[in-house]
């Protein structure tokens, strides 16, 4: 699937780290280092502008290594970049770790995943079909 991209960052385009990876590592395009204090958050620019095909979105997801080792994650994970958005792709990062974390320019900060989606057509009704689960919500399936 081809996605048009303008790269104003000077960094390499997002790339798959391995042959079967689902997400492309995306790099920061900050002019100065960004310090994320514990529980701090920042909108980090990437210098990328996308033209995503209709019927698709690009999801912004955390990098597992940053999350596990440093507590750095995408605050609105997964973030969604809609097909009609043409502005710069930015990533909302949060530091859930115990130490400050400095984001240097060109650092791999998140993953981008292309995902197909359907468009909902609502059908209003007075009742829904029964199911085994019914209205059981949080924790109702026995998961603790």
For the purposes of burial, counting CB atoms within 10 Å of the CB of 12, is it exposed (0-12), middle (13-18) or buried (19 or more)? Answer: exposed
Check pLDDT > 70 for residue 95: yes
Check pLDDT > 80 for residue 143: no
Instruction: Read off the pLDDT of residues 4-43 as tens digits, 9 standing for 90 and up.
Output: 999 999 999 999 999 999 999 999 999 999 999 999 999 9
- Domains of the chain, start order: 4-116 (2.70.40.10)
Average pLDDT in the 69-80 region?
97
Check pLDDT > 90 for residue 133: no
Say what the pLDDT of residue 19 is. 95
The token pair that represents 62 in the structure block: 């955390």
Query: Cα Rg for the chain, rounded, in angstroms?
Result: 19
Say what the pLDDT of residue 140 is. 72
3-state secondary structure string across the chain: CCCEEEECCCCCCCEECCCCCCCEEEECCCCCCEEECCCCEEEEEEEEEEECCCCEEEEEECCHHHHHHHCEEECCCCEEECCCCCCEEEEEEEECCCCCEEECCCCEEEEEEEEECCCCCCCCCCCCCCCCCCCCCCCCCCCC
Instruction: Identify the residue whose tokens are 């990328």.
Output: 48
Say what the pLDDT of residue 144 is. 58
Per-residue confidence at 54, pLDDT binned at 50, 70, 90? Answer: very high
Please enumerate in sequence order all residues whose Cβ is within 8 A of that of 118, keeping only pairs 6 or more positions apart, or say none: none
Per-residue confidence at 137, pLDDT binned at 50, 70, 90? Answer: confident
Bridge partners, 80 (sequence order): 59
């Amino acid at each position: 699937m081809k996605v048009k991209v303008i790269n104003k960052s000077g960094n390499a385009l997002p790339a798959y780290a391995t042959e079967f990876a689902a997400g492309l590592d995306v790099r920061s395009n900050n002019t100065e280092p960004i310090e994320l204090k514990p529980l701090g958050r920042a909108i980090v620019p990437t210098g990328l502008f996308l033209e995503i095909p209709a019927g698709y979105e690009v999801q912004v997801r955390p990098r597992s290594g940053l999350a596990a080792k440093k507590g750095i994650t995408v605050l609105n994970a997964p973030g969604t970049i809609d097909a009609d958005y043409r502005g710069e792709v930015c990533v909302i990062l949060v530091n859930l770790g115990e130490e400050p974390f400095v984001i240097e320019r060109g650092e791999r900060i998140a993953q981008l995943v292309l995902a197909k989606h359907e468009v909902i057509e609502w059908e209003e009704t007075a009742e829904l079909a029964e199911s085994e689960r019914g209205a059981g919500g949080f924790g109702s399936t026995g998961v603790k």
